Chain A
Amino acid sequence: MFNYLTTFPGNGQHMINEDGVLKLARLARLKIDKAASIAAAAKLNSILGYVEQLMKVNVEGVEPMSHVHGSTNVYRADEVRPSPNPDAMLQNVPDSSGRFVRVPIIVE
C-alpha cells in the first residue's frame, strides 16, 4: 500500500510544526523564513485537521482508489511523432544559452 499521508515531526499524529514546514520547503526548493513557516504550519494544520476527521471513517475492506474513471490499458504504438515546434518550448523558458535551458548552478 502507498502511504498517502506522510507523518512529519509535529505535535499530533498528523500535525505539522514549523520544522516540518521548513523540511517540506527544502524538498520543494522554496525559500521561506521562520515567520512564514509558523504561519504556513497553522494553515496546513487546518487542512490536516480535516484529514484527521477523514481518518476516523471506517474504510475496512474498501480498496484505496487511485484512478477515478476506471479505464485500463491505455497505450500507444512505438512511433515517433515529434512535437510540431520544439523550439517554442525553448522560447518560453526564463533563461537559455544556445539550445540549452539555463538555470542557477545546481551543484556546489
Chain B
Amino acid sequence: MEYETVIGLEVHVQLATHSKIFCGSSAAFGAEPNENVDPLTFGLPGSLPVLNWSVVEFAIMLGLAMNCEIRKFNRFARKHYFYPDLPKGYQISQFEEPICERGSLRVPIEDAVRTIGIKRIHMEEDAGKNIHDSRTQSSLVDLNRAGVPLLEVVSEPDIRSPAEAGAYMRTVRQLVRWLGISDGNMEEGSLRCDANISLRPSGSLKFGTRTEIKNLNSFKFVEQALEYEIARQMSLLKSGKEVIQQTLTFDSATGATSPLRSKEESSDYRYFPDPDLPPLVIEERSIHEIQEKMPKLPEAWYKELVEVYGLSAYDAAVLTAERSFVEYFREVFEISSNAKLACNWVTSELFGLLKKAGLEIHKSPIKPRDLGTLVKLIDSEAISGKMGKLVFEEMFASGEAPQTIIDRKGLKQITGEDQIVAIIKQAFEKNPGQLAEYVGGNDRLHPFFVGQVMKLSSGTANPKRVNDLITREINKLRGAA
C-alpha cells in the first residue's frame, strides 16, 4: 500500500523586543545567568504582569503577512505546569482565543509554490533554561529567557514531505526577519519547531495516528527527524502494527527519535483566563496603523523584480532572501538605472567581498549610493568593467566614493575616437615590421596591436573601441596599398 505523509508544524518565534513580554527586564540574549530577572520573572508574590505593546504589534504584523484574521477581543490564559524554569507555576499564553487565525503562507519549493494553511498564531512567554548535571544530581536554572516574548505559529496539517517542512520553516524565517520582528537566529534558539507527523493510505481523507517531535532547532534537524519518523511509522504500518500517539525527542547525534517521558495532557494544564491581565481589545484603527508600517513583502518584491526590473527568477530569489538585500539593490538601481548590472555588482561582487570579510550587508564599507555611481560609470563606459573592479576593491577597503579613487588614480577611460586613433597610430609607428605583416594579410597580429594600444594608454582606453578602430585603420591602410 502507498502512504501519504501528513505534517503540521508548530514554530516558536522569539521576538526581537527590547524588554520581556510582561515586565521591564531586558530580553537580550547572552547576558550573565539570572541577570535579566525581576520579581515577576521569579514569580514573587505581589508582582503583576503588564503587557508589552510591541508584542501585540509584532503578532498582528505576522498575522497580516500570513493573511490571518485578527481577533478583536483577546484574553491571556494561564497554562499550568510545575517546572523550575517557570517559577510562577504557569506559563502565560493564549488558549482558545489566539490573536491570529485562519491564514496561509505561500512557500516556494523548487519551481512551484505551495500554500500552507496557518491555523493560528498566539502570544506567550518563553520559559527559562535548565542545565542538568547528573554528577551532582542537580539542575541549574537560568531565568534570563523566562518571560521573553514568543509567537507560536501553528500550521494546518498541509505539509506533505520533509523537504516541504524545511521550505516552510525557511519561509517563516525569511518572513519574521523581513518584518524585523525576530532575528530568526536558530543557534540562539530564536526559532524552534515541534513537528506533528502521521501517515495515511494514499487517497484516504482520515488522518493516521500522529506523533509529535519536540524542539527541533535547525532546518536540517527538522528534515532529518521527519525522514526518520516516516521510515519508522512506515515499517510499523507495513508490518501490520500500530503507531502509538506519543511525544518524541530527536537526537541529532544518532539521527533517531525516541519517546519522551509523557508530560501532561491538555486538560492537565488547567487553562483558565489570567485574571492579572485585563482583556486586550484590538481596534480596527490599530490594525490599519500597523499595516501602514509594514514593508513590502518578499513575494511582492520578487514579482516586481522579475516583471518590472526584468531580473531572472534566480536573481530575484537571491535579492529577496533578506529585506536588507533588496533595499540595498534598490538604492544602487536608483542611481545606476541598470537593474541587471546593479544586481550583478550587488550579488556577485559585493556579496563576495562581504562574505570574505565576514560582514553583514548593513556593515558594508561601500554605501549603496556609491556602488550606484560606480555601476553608472561602468554602464556609460566612462570606465571599463576591469577598472571598475579595481575601483570597487579600493572602495571596499577605504570606503571612499568612486570618483575620488578614479581622479586620484587617473583611471578615466579613453573613449574618444580621435584620442584612441592617435594612440593606435603611435603603436603602428613603433612597430613597423608587425604593421607591414598585418597590412599584408596576417590578421593574427590584431591582438598584438590591441595589447600595444592598451599598454600605451596605461589600460585606460576602452578595449572594445580599440578593437573596432584598429580593424578600421588596418582596412584603410589595406585599401590604400
Contacts and interface: CB of A to CB of B under 8 A. Distances in A.
Contact of B18 (A3, A68, A79, A108): A79
Interface stretch (A10-18, A32-40, A46-54, A82-90): A82-90
Nearest to A103: B84
Nearest to A86: B37
The CB with the most chain B CB atoms within 10 A, among A2, A67, A69, A100, is that of A100
Interface residues of A, number: 40
Interface stretch (B171-179, B260-268, B345-353, B436-444): B260-268
Contacts of B281: 72-73
Q: Is the interface of A mostly helix, strand, loop or mixed?
A: loop
B83 interface: yes
Contacts of A78: 17-19, 52-55
Contacts of A97: 138, 140
A58 interface: no
B34 A89 contact: yes
B75 interface: yes
B77 interface: yes
B278 A27 contact: no
Interface of B: 17-19, 24-26, 32-39, 41-42, 44, 50-56, 75, 77, 80-84, 95-96, 130-134, 137-143, 261, 264, 267-268, 270-273, 275, 277-281
Given A83-B37, A105-B133, A4 B272 contact: yes
Contacts of B37: 83, 86, 89-90
B36 A82 contact: yes
B139 A104 contact: yes
A99 B56 CA distance: 32
A13 to B, nearest CB: 16
Contacts of B44: 89
A59 interface: no
A89 B138 contact: no
Contacts of A79: 18-19, 24
B33 A100 contact: yes
B275 A68 contact: yes
A105 B131 CA distance: 9
A90 B140 CA distance: 12
A64 B277 CA distance: 16
Please give me the 10 A-B residue pairs with the lowest Cβ-Cβ distance, nearest first. A81-B24, A83-B38, A66-B273, A100-B140, A78-B54, A99-B33, A101-B141, A75-B51, A75-B53, A29-B82
Interface of A: 1-4, 6, 27-29, 66-69, 71-83, 86, 89-90, 97-108
Contacts of B34: 86, 89-90, 99-101
The CB with the most chain B CB atoms within 10 A, among A29, A68, A75, is that of A75
Given A6-B270, A72-B281, A83-B39, A100 B141 contact: yes
Given A79-B24, A86-B25, A103-B139, 14 more contacts: A3-B267, A6-B267, A66-B272, A67-B279, A72-B280, A75-B50, A78-B18, A80-B19, A86-B34, A99-B35, A103-B138, A106-B84, A106-B139, A108-B261
